[in-house]
């Protein structure tokens, strides 16, 4: 439960990312909670309010002020500012210093929930993962923020770790999550985050490589460079959706409903029609980098920029 007398901390995460983080914390079933990089404690508040276990919530930050923090959030960081937003949280253990060094000689707790929003590039990101992963419980939920083209080490490392673990990778907003055991807990968190798409699935083909995810999570291939060959959506919430593909002259080349594979190999344009509360978002790989498009809603048309490939897709409930 959140405390209504405590103000929400200034936040850098998106609203949907925070909601997903909370639903993930609710699915933790072992060990302690560990968060790295709470800033003012917005993610700390979310984890604390959503967890169903009484296990301690450890959090690590330098609490060092920085020009970007004041510029973006109108206030600078300090341990005092963090305490203002979080001192009401039961079982909160605060480690002030640089992770993982600040706990390198003392950490011994099994970790059942790991959330990393601290160092966004290597070697810092991997230093944390390599140190703390030795303490992960067998069913730990491991997640973090900023699975995004602007932070290429995060998609690269997380995709490799998911492959090494042989597990599915889920991303909503920019929040990523993996687990080695009972991944249906993360699928539940996805559906609770976007209840309007509960039961909807999105299957994808990158040549011979098949993937399937809850439709509100990004498909396989996010922030990689393999062109998406085709996709197929299914389930009650999207039963009336239709996709039309267009060639480079703007002529329609295919129209597809639920359960049909939408072929993208010759497509230069895409339009979705049907319920105006459902839209889609794409991830494109261009010459320099990968990036996500805006959300396209019913009737609005996506045109593939020259030199880019569609590499991933997700569906979204859009506000009217």
Ligand X SMILES: C[S@@+](CC[C@H](N)C(=O)[O-])C[C@H]1O[C@@H](n2cnc3c(N)ncnc32)[C@H](O)[C@@H]1O
- 39 touching ligand X, by CB under 6 A: yes
Q: Which of residues 119 and 230 has its CB atom nearest to ligand X in the complex?
A: 119
Q: Which of residues 174 and 213 has its CB atom nearest to ligand X in the complex?
A: 174
Spatial CB neighbours of 196, under 8 Å, sequence gap ≥ 6: 237, 277, 278, 317
Distances (CA, A) of 75 to 36, 59, 298: 20, 21, 40
Minimum distance, C-beta of residue 7 to ligand X, in the bound complex (Å): 14
- 43 touching ligand X, by CB under 6 A: yes
Identify the helix (H) or strand (E) that includes residue 122: none
Binding residues among 88-127 for ligand X as defined by CB under 6 A: 98-99, 117-119, 124
Residue that is written with structure tokens 């609005």 in the block: 300
How far apart, in whole angstroms, are the C-alpha atoms of residue 236 and residue 257? Answer: 12
Minimum distance, C-beta of residue 73 to ligand X, in the bound complex (Å): 8
How far apart, in whole angstroms, are the C-alpha atoms of residue 141 and residue 115? Answer: 9
Minimum distance, C-beta of residue 191 to ligand X, in the bound complex (Å): 23
Spatial CB neighbours of 243, under 8 Å, sequence gap ≥ 6: 255, 256, 262, 270, 271, 272, 273
Minimum distance, C-beta of residue 155 to ligand X, in the bound complex (Å): 16
Kindly write out the interface string for residues 216-255 of this chain, putting x where it contacts ligand X by CB under 6 A and - elsewhere.
Answer: ----------------------------------------
Binding residues among 11-30 for ligand X as defined by CB under 6 A: 11-13
DSSP annotation of 260 reads: S
Kindly tell me the sign of the dihedral angle through the C-alpha atoms of 257, 261, 262, 266: negative
- 191 touching ligand X, by CB under 6 A: no
Minimum distance, C-beta of residue 262 to ligand X, in the bound complex (Å): 36
Binding site for ligand X (CB under 6 A): 11-13, 36-39, 42-43, 60-62, 64, 77, 98-99, 117-119, 124
């Amino acid at each position: 439960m959140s405390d209504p007398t405590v103000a929400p901390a200034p936040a850098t995460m998106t609203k949907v990312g925070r909601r997903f983080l909370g639903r993930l914390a609710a699915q933790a079933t072992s060990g302690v909670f560990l968060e790295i990089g709470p800033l003012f404690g917005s993610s700390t508040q979310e984890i604390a309010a959503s967890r169903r276990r009484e296990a301690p919530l450890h959090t690590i930050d330098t609490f060092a002020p920085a020009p970007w923090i004041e510029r973006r959030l109108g206030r600078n960081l300090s341990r005092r500012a963090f305490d203002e937003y979080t001192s009401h949280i039961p079982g909160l253990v605060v480690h002030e210093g640089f992770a993982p060094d600040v706990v390198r000689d003392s950490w011994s707790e099994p970790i059942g929930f790991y959330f990393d929003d601290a160092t966004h590039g290597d070697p810092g990101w991997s230093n944390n993962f390599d140190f703390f992963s030795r303490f992960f419980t067998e069913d730990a939920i491991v997640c973090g923020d900023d699975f995004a083209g602007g932070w290429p080490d995060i998609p690269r490392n997380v995709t490799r770790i998911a492959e090494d673990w042989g597990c599915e990778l889920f991303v909503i907003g920019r929040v990523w999550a993996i687990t080695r055991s009972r991944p249906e807990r993360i699928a539940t968190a996805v559906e609770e985050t976007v209840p309007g798409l509960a039961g909807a699935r999105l299957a994808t083909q990158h040549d011979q490589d098949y993937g399937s995810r809850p439709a509100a999570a990004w498909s396989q291939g996010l922030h990689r460079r393999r062109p998406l060959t085709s996709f197929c959506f299914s389930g009650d919430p999207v039963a009336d959706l239709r996709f039309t593909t267009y060639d480079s002259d703007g002529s329609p080349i295919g129209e597809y409903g639920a359960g049909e594979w939408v072929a993208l190999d010759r497509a230069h344009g895409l339009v979705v029609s049907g319920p105006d509360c459902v839209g889609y978002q794409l991830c494109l790989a261009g010459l320099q980098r990968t990036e996500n498009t805006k959300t396209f809603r019913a009737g609005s048309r996506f045109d593939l920029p020259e030199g880019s490939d569609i590499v991933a897709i997700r569906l979204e409930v859009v506000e009217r």
